A and B are shown apart, each in its own frame.
Chain A
Amino acid sequence: MASSPKLNSHIPEGPMESKWTHHKSTVRLVSPANKRRLDVIVVGTGLAGASAAASLAELGYNVKAFCFQDSPRRAHSIAAQGGINAAKNYQNDGDSVYRLFYDTVKGGDYRAREANVYRLAEVSASIIDQCVAQGVPFAREYGGLLDNRSFGGVQVSRTFYARGQTGQQLLLGAYSALERQVAKGAVTMYSRHEMVELVMVDGKARGIIARNLVTGELERHFGHAVLICSGGYGNVFYLSTNAMGSNVTAAWKAHKKGAFFGNPCFTQIHPTCIPVSGDYQSKLTLMSESLRNDGRVWVPKAVGDKRKPEEISDEERDYYLERRYPAFGNLVPRDVASRAAKQACDEGRGVGPSGLAVYLDFRDAIKRLGHHVISARYGNLFEMYEKITGEDPYQTPMRIYPAVHYTMGGLWVDYNLMTTVPGLYALGEANFSDHGANRLGASALMQGLADGYFVIPYTLGEYLADDIRTPAIPTNHPAFDEAEKSVRDRIEKLMSIKGKQTVEDLHKRLGRIIWDYCGMSRTAEGLTKALAMVQELKNEFWTDVRIPGDVNEFNPELDKAGRVADFIELGELMIRDALMRNESCGGHFREESQTEDGEAKRDDENFAFVAAWEYTGTEPVLHKEELNFEVVHLTQRSYK
């Protein structure tokens, strides 16, 4: 297989260990005087966007940053709990850049680009240095040095953490760096603004149309380059652990203007979340993966056993992870644990009022270690669980169920993080990135900050070096007129439908279809059916949606409607991608492709590629980027 001629990944020549060093010292530079004349638009202020905006402003670029929340500090990154990986080897336990690289490629089930992953591992150590210098209060040992923990089943302790609020502390660090540049006038911050269109001039990304969410006004913003740092699209499933506002709109607009979308069907379903409790449920809450270190997962052996957990004796319980995966037991990777929970529930052995939950039981750990040890380790999580469910996990097992958590897919980017549109970049969860078909715990924070602090400040110059003589394009250019008009027309169309179904109704239904057919387990038959269902839903949306209020006022329902319309189109692409990929890998499980004992079966012969989809307005076109593994050998993952 050869890669599509439309996809040039621009991987530097040379041995893996020296690609980045070599590239950094040979990319073209823009002089400080010229940087002042260049405008850069950054959409999003999560870890990726805030770190990029601050770093680029420090270098001298004029930055305009956008977020839809009322403050850049509230981006979804704030919610990350567990930690951030870095190959520091402070614990002297044999960690190295190579090992972090290797674990990430293997964990991603061999569907990531080696050169990018290697660079990620390489810059990881500098991230920790930078964050500590900013005052991020990572956990420390009594000697005053940084503490680490192990995470997600790897064999070394390389995860840095700040209690259960690592994302918050990292984001506040990046946010403070960003605000410092705002005060200096190097960044102009637009909060409560949403990017609703990309503006292209002569085939290059040259600006955006943003909607002021307070007044409803449409604004035109020019940039010599545009960076999409808008996060993941897990909310296509309606219910997920993402923040309520997380959306695909910025990335989707970019896609429709020519940026290819990479591996849209690769989504991560996290095994330990609090189950759905009713129709009114608006989002799902993650319970940290670390709980599986001490909790034992089980369901009753008998189908339909509705007794209280305390009344079910050990002989009548099925500790199915320990039974099926004796080597890893309760600590199997996320995708494996999630699928096993689904299977148990599909067999009718699920617990709780809905039957869509399994137990995570601390009884034995409390007996073995004592109440105080468990409370020191997990006290805050137990409290959060009790706040939400009203049940005390010290007395009765937690009920958990898998939930959508992260999207590995996203805008396709080359080694420089540029999409297939010149001048348009994607960073953080918004790109298809470094995690292949499955992301390891504590690696998303690392990637977002790597992209923003240490990659884009170098690679952006490569492109902008040609632009130093391009004056700012006035925003009365016809390209801006046209882009703004298309946005205006779309909003008018949405408002004029005045149908019967609320945006939430339609979003819930979309989520249900994607969850049922493009969730933990997928078949050609189900996906084909789902494709028709989503197309039908799209029709219904555009003929029957009801949006209250006016255009020129604060109107969250209208904002949501625009996002859901984009989710519907994305959903269709996810289904097509899942249908095309007739193999099981990472979070993508095709029932047609499994071993005799029901485990995922990868097909490297036919599917060792990144699927990059081109938008055409009708059927999307598939382009393949061939994945060559020069360093890591392909093997089938096994956790038995």
Chain B
Amino acid sequence: MSDSINLKLKIWRQRNHKEAGHFEMYDMPGVSTHMSFLEMMDVLNDRLIREGKDPVAFDHDCREGICGMCSMYINGRAHGPLKGTTTCQLHMRHFSDGETVTIEPWRAAAFPVIKDLVVDRTSFDKIIAAGGYISVNTGNATDANSLPVEKAKSDEAFDAAACIGCGACVATCKNASGMLFLSAKVSHLALLPQGEPERRERVLRMIDAHDESGLGACTNTGACEAECPKEISISHIARLNREYLRAGMTGE
């Protein structure tokens, strides 16, 4: 494999949420295949700045696939072509010479564009604030080993807790639903004995917050699971539905 490829980039440019956006084309010759996708964007921006042009705004921070900040829709797929991989972990060796790469922001009514590829995902914080926690003030806790948790359950809770809150599930879903994200948190806490007392309230309040923020309803298309960089399983949505039903039945 050659160490360098030539690409064309087709990038969504939008000044802010009020103005309309459009695509722009950029030539990217001599891209090293060892670069990460975001490093390629750095190289492009460096050039644009030198040419006196406006660099492309994009979100990123850890560049290790864990903070959930990066969020690019690449060639029609959230976080690009690789399974279980965030944009920041994607490397250029997965692209071929001469290719045109299309780069867009997450598109969802609940995620308005701030600039170019940067969107506002504060609706996710609101969903967590509505109930994605266990109410325990600092200092209230008993000894950690006083409450054994079955290993299998604890592991499953962990699988759900691995969600990085990136929003790829919303961007991928034709309904722009945030249910995979929401269900991951509900599942995480419902599987643990500590989460038991607030089980009913939690799910109702979080779903309310979800719907209020303009995120869409889930019709079980499964697209989210396929694109989630942390491979959060759609079975959590099934659990969420059970939790929701159960909450309805135990209601006042």
Binding site for B on A (CB under 8 A): 51, 54-55, 58, 69-74, 76, 78-79, 88, 90, 126, 128-135, 137-138, 140-146, 162-163, 165, 168-169, 172, 175-177, 179-180, 182-183, 189, 191, 214, 243-245, 277-278, 280-283, 285, 384, 387-390, 453-454, 457, 502, 504, 546, 548-549, 553-554, 556-557
Question: Is B135 touching A180 in the complex (CB atoms < 8 A)?
Answer: yes
Smallest beta-carbon distance B148→chain A, Å: 3
27 interchain pairs, CB-CB under 8 A: A70-B59, A71-B125, A72-B125, A74-B69, A130-B138, A132-B144, A133-B134, A133-B136, A133-B144, A133-B194, A135-B194, A138-B144, A144-B154, A146-B145, A165-B66, A177-B138, A183-B129, A214-B114, A244-B61, A244-B63, A245-B61, A278-B32, A278-B35, A282-B38, A454-B138, A548-B55, A556-B55
Across the A-B interface, the 10 shortest Cβ-Cβ residue pairs: A144-B148, A176-B133, A133-B141, A129-B141, A179-B129, A137-B158, A132-B144, A183-B129, A55-B138, A554-B115
Q: Which residues of A contact B52 (CB under 8 A)?
A: 548
Question: Is B115 touching A453 in the complex (CB atoms < 8 A)?
Answer: no
Question: Is B133 touching A129 in the complex (CB atoms < 8 A)?
Answer: no
Which B residues from 38 to 71 make CB contacts under 8 A with A? 38-40, 42-43, 46, 48-50, 52-55, 57, 59-69
Question: Is B192 touching A179 in the complex (CB atoms < 8 A)?
Answer: no
Say whether, besides A180-B129, A504-B42, A70 and B122 are in contact (CB < 8 Å): yes
Smallest beta-carbon distance B119→chain A, Å: 9
Closest residue of chain B to A175 (Cβ to Cβ) is B128
Which B residues from 72 to 128 make CB contacts under 8 A with A? 85, 89, 91, 93, 114-115, 118, 120-122, 124-125, 128
Question: Is B34 touching A549 in the complex (CB atoms < 8 A)?
Answer: no
Say whether, besides A129-B142, A179-B129, A134 and B136 are in contact (CB < 8 Å): yes
Question: Is B68 touching A73 in the complex (CB atoms < 8 A)?
Answer: yes
Count, chain B residues at interface, CB 8 A: 78
**Cβ 8 A contact of B120, one of A51, A70, A145, A504:** A70
Question: Is B115 touching A553 in the complex (CB atoms < 8 A)?
Answer: yes
Q: Which residues of B contact A453 (CB under 8 A)?
A: 138-139
Question: Is A79 touching B67 in the complex (CB atoms < 8 A)?
Answer: yes
Binding site for A on B (CB under 8 A): 15-16, 32, 34-36, 38-40, 42-43, 46, 48-50, 52-55, 57, 59-69, 85, 89, 91, 93, 114-115, 118, 120-122, 124-125, 128-130, 132-145, 147-151, 154-155, 157-158, 161-162, 164-165, 188-189, 192, 194-195
Closest residue of chain A to B137 (Cβ to Cβ) is A58
A370 to B130, CA, bound (A): 48
Say whether, besides A74-B61, A549-B54, A145 and B148 are in contact (CB < 8 Å): yes
Question: Is B61 touching A69 in the complex (CB atoms < 8 A)?
Answer: yes
**Total cross-chain contacts (CB, 8 A):** 211
Q: Which residues of B contact A54 (CB under 8 A)?
A: 138
Q: Which residues of A contact B62 (CB under 8 A)?
A: 74, 76, 78-79, 243-244
Q: Which residues of B contact A389 (CB under 8 A)?
A: 34
A285 to B62, CA, bound (A): 10
Q: Which residues of B contact A168 (CB under 8 A)?
A: 66, 162, 164
**Cβ 8 A contact of A134, one of B38, B49, B134:** B134
Question: Is A182 touching B151 in the complex (CB atoms < 8 A)?
Answer: no
**Cβ 8 A contact of A554, one of B89, B114, B161:** B114
Say whether, besides A132-B147, A133-B194, A548-B49, A177 and B133 are in contact (CB < 8 Å): yes
A278 to B133, CA, bound (A): 43
Q: Which residues of B contact A172 (CB under 8 A)?
A: 161
A616 to B53, CA, bound (A): 39
Q: Which residues of A contact B38 (CB under 8 A)?
A: 282
A513 to B228, CA, bound (A): 41
Say whether, besides A90-B145, A134-B133, A554-B115, A546 and B49 are in contact (CB < 8 Å): yes
Question: Is A243 touching B35 in the complex (CB atoms < 8 A)?
Answer: no
Question: Is A180 touching B133 in the complex (CB atoms < 8 A)?
Answer: yes
Smallest beta-carbon distance A174→chain B, Å: 10
Closest residue of chain B to A70 (Cβ to Cβ) is B121
Q: Which residues of A contact B141 (CB under 8 A)?
A: 126, 129-130, 132-133
Say whether, besides A144-B150, A182-B129, A557 and B49 are in contact (CB < 8 Å): yes
A135 to B196, CA, bound (A): 11
Q: Which residues of A contact B138 (CB under 8 A)?
A: 51, 54-55, 58, 130, 177, 453-454, 457
A74 to B124, CA, bound (A): 12
Smallest beta-carbon distance B67→chain A, Å: 4
A177 to B134, CA, bound (A): 8
Q: Which residues of B contact A457 (CB under 8 A)?
A: 138
Q: Which residues of B contact A163 (CB under 8 A)?
A: 158
A134 to B139, CA, bound (A): 11
Kindly list 18 other residue pairs between chains A and B, CB separation below 8 angstroms, not including A70-B59, A169-B158, A280-B43: A58-B137, A69-B61, A71-B68, A74-B61, A78-B62, A126-B141, A132-B141, A137-B155, A137-B158, A138-B154, A140-B151, A144-B148, A172-B161, A176-B134, A183-B130, A244-B60, A280-B35, A553-B15
- Looking at B118, B154, B188, which has the most chain A CB atoms within 10 Å of its CB? B154
Question: Is B161 touching A169 in the complex (CB atoms < 8 A)?
Answer: yes
Question: Is A281 touching B91 in the complex (CB atoms < 8 A)?
Answer: no
**Cβ 8 A contact of B49, one of A76, A177, A502:** A502
Q: Which residues of B contact A143 (CB under 8 A)?
A: 148
Q: Which residues of B contact A162 (CB under 8 A)?
A: 158
Question: Is B154 touching A78 in the complex (CB atoms < 8 A)?
Answer: no
Question: Is A142 touching B61 in the complex (CB atoms < 8 A)?
Answer: no
**Cβ 8 A contact of A179, one of B43, B57, B128:** B128
Question: Is A137 touching B188 in the complex (CB atoms < 8 A)?
Answer: yes
Q: Which residues of A contact B134 (CB under 8 A)?
A: 133-135, 176
Smallest beta-carbon distance B42→chain A, Å: 6
Question: Is A133 touching B140 in the complex (CB atoms < 8 A)?
Answer: yes
A281 to B118, CA, bound (A): 22
Smallest beta-carbon distance B63→chain A, Å: 5
**Cβ 8 A contact of B149, one of A73, A144, A504:** A144
Question: Is A132 touching B42 in the complex (CB atoms < 8 A)?
Answer: no
Question: Is A387 touching B91 in the complex (CB atoms < 8 A)?
Answer: yes
Question: Is B114 touching A128 in the complex (CB atoms < 8 A)?
Answer: no
- Looking at A74, A138, A502, A553, which has the most chain B CB atoms within 10 Å of its CB? A74
Question: Is B194 touching A557 in the complex (CB atoms < 8 A)?
Answer: no
Q: Which residues of A contact B89 (CB under 8 A)?
A: 384, 387-388
Question: Is B142 touching A133 in the complex (CB atoms < 8 A)?
Answer: yes
A137 to B191, CA, bound (A): 10
A457 to B140, CA, bound (A): 14
Smallest beta-carbon distance A456→chain B, Å: 10
Q: Which residues of B contact A189 (CB under 8 A)?
A: 125
Question: Is A132 touching B122 in the complex (CB atoms < 8 A)?
Answer: no
Smallest beta-carbon distance A78→chain B, Å: 5
Question: Is B154 touching A140 in the complex (CB atoms < 8 A)?
Answer: yes
A225 to B244, CA, bound (A): 43
A538 to B143, CA, bound (A): 53
- Looking at A128, A146, A163, A176, which has the most chain B CB atoms within 10 Å of its CB? A176
A504 to B85, CA, bound (A): 27
A88 to B139, CA, bound (A): 16
Q: Which residues of A contact B91 (CB under 8 A)?
A: 387-388, 390
Question: Is A243 touching B149 in the complex (CB atoms < 8 A)?
Answer: no
